[in-house]
Structure 1
Amino acid sequence: MATQARMYDRNDPDESAKLFAGRAVVGSDGKLAAAADVNTTGAIVVPKYEPEIIDLIKRKSAVLQRLKDKNRWVPTTGLPHRFFEQTAVVAATATDIRNIVPTPGGPTRVERNASIKGATSQSNFGLADVMATKAQGGSFAALEAKDIADIATGIRRLQAKMFWLGAAPTIDDTGNVEWCGVIRQLAASASHIVILDTVVAHDSLIDGIQNTTAAVLNNIDFDPSPSAVWSNGELISKIEKEARTSAYHMNEEEFTYGVRVTSVQTQAGKLPLAQDPNLRKLTVAEAKSIFGILDANVPVGATGMFLVVIMDESKIELPYLNLDGDDTPMIFQLGLLAGLQGQFVGIAFSSVAVQCAAYDHGLIGVWV
């Protein structure tokens, strides 16, 4: 049963005893008070903790790890990261077999570039605190190494957020320190953007995914290859509920080693429904800004917008710059500060590039 929060009453001696039981506290004379839980005849009980710290921090990103498994983290070509997209081949014309008149032409290639952005994190370690922790021994002696490793974890968590909704307006923008996220890249370039209304019109989510995938594949100039449908877990739950209600049979596909997820049958085959909490629900204001939606086109009662990305994962690149030759954030130990604090700084130089954004991917916004 949930309990209500209440204010601590400093004038209640019973509450003070509970709050400071087992802690070394500073008294009115500025000296440390006793820390024993029990100090009586024949017994002294001192504080003792479980040997393991309860830690459920999310340290991995499903989409970043999947793209790593697909070798989509690539060394940057420079600053910025550059690549070409071919958008046309030389055109052919019909001709009279006895009066052959060819028309000269050539392929069309477009230069693209992605600005490399930095992500950093820092921790300072007090000399006396670290020494005292190690001197106590036990499982906490390795805490310093864990906290240093988590400097890189903090950077990875930021990259996972920027992957979808990084705030830079364009992929080649140099003014904003964040990545230009996948959603903004697709919203600016994708030919297949669909807005569904589940509030007033009660649009079908499954039909929306199938129709958008079919539209992406219906292309006489390019050969798109969607490989997954990415969304938030809450929306995927709504999709699965719709399938049960309409008696639509959803299969399962292996998403990664040992993990199977539900899939949707599309013109591109069975596409797995992959969930990422960082692909979060947008506020109404965010949705209007990203998609350029007018107030009149926002359904009455809508509280926000979920997103669905029909993605060709082979056309997503994560360029990085690293002295060690891999995509792992770099950790540097700086010299001791004047207060003899150890200083560790993590840094990663990277970006995300949605290649063939105009025709190889689909984007669906779902008003809820």
Structure 2
Amino acid sequence: MNTIRFGHHWAATTGGIMALVALTASGCGHDTAGTPTGVANVPAATATPALTASGAPTGSTVTCGSGTSAPDAAHTASDSPTPEGISRSLHQIGWWGGMSITVRRATVNRGGALTLDVTYANLGDQAASPSATATIRTASKSIETTSTVPEIPGGGNAPGTITADLADTSCDLSAVLDNVALIYGGPADNQTTIPLNPATSVDSVAPRTVPLTTHMAQDQIQIDPSGATITPSYVAGERNKTTVAVKIKVTCGSSCAAGGYNVDREEFSLRAPDGSTVTADTRSPYCCDALYPETVSDSARNILVFVVASPVSGKYTLSYNNKQLTDAGTLPAVADLAL
């Protein structure tokens, strides 16, 4: 599980509160005990100066939703006041649906209007748009979001925004952000949780790649796995499932049968260290090949995807079983993959 931690420092600001009661001869006197007369139950002043864009008091007051005011102080060194609320700089990174998602800034206004500035990075080699199905979680509820979802070229990145209405009128906006997280996926999925509190770790699993240099053959059919990418499954309901995507090159040399062979993804399987075995999934970009003498198939789409139990660690065995060759007495091809 990939975790990212950031320091959380508290910075205090001060505001003066001054109550001045002017007593005039015609308005108020004192009783013999020294208590002002003509003034009943005078409350303590609770107003705070409002802030300009630079953070300086304007001389007006800001009243919090509770009916009292409190300093609009930055709780962290990354918080900056705005005329309407606060803005927090962040660098929280999570992964979801083939994208790296970096939350760079969170802005919340009085009343709870939240805007997240994010950067999406497309980890694949095909153009794609990031998922728009994100939610905001607070201490008490989940809230739907609205997202900009630009199409991003393979290997590229693009900015985006995510907005939500927290419907929160708390005066301490830094504390509000401290209890908010951006969530991708539901309870039955491999969720990604990106907190807006920089002191709280991101809960997400980064994809990882494993170079492979193994070789396998069944008679004239040669198969060379050249690498694997290991990623949590982002399919709904596949919590605790991981995808292993194996890139392969398939060849048949000069001695290949003139009539050729068909190679299908259903002929590939992957056995886990516990002995469980799965065949290549239909979500594999690779489907099939027709092999003839001197055929070399090495497309970027030659990727077999296997859906296995999490976590992925240890020795896995990749097998290729061409039934035509097996029926003729040739053993299936096998190769061990250290994942």
Give the TM bin, normalised by the shorter chain: under 0.3
Bigger share in helix: 1
Larger radius of gyration: 2
Q: TM-score by structure 1 length?
A: 0.21
